[in-house]
Amino acid sequence: MDNQIKTFQISDNIYWGYQYKIPLLYALSISNQTIIDEIKKDMENFFNTHNLEYLKKGIDNLDLHICGDIAKDNSVVYVCTHDH
21 - beta bridge partners?
7
Residue closer to Zn ion, measured from CB, 67 or 70: 67
Does residue 80 bind Zn ion (CB under 5 A)?
A: yes
Binding mask 19-38 toward Zn ion (x if CB under 5 A, else -) reads --------------------
| Cα–Cα distance measured from residue 4 to residue 2, given in angstroms and rounded to the nearest whole number | 6
C-alpha neighbours within 13 Å on the C-beta side of residue 62: 26
Q: Which stretch binds Zn ion (CB under 5 A): 16-24, 27-35, 51-59, 76-84?
A: 76-84
The CB-of-36 to Zn ion minimum distance in angstroms stands at: 12
Structure letter (DSSP) for residue 60: G
**CA triple 35-59-25, angle to 5 deg:** 10
Number of residues engaging Zn ion in binding (CB under 5 A):
2
22, 67, 70, 76: residue in contact with Zn ion (rule CB under 5 A): 67
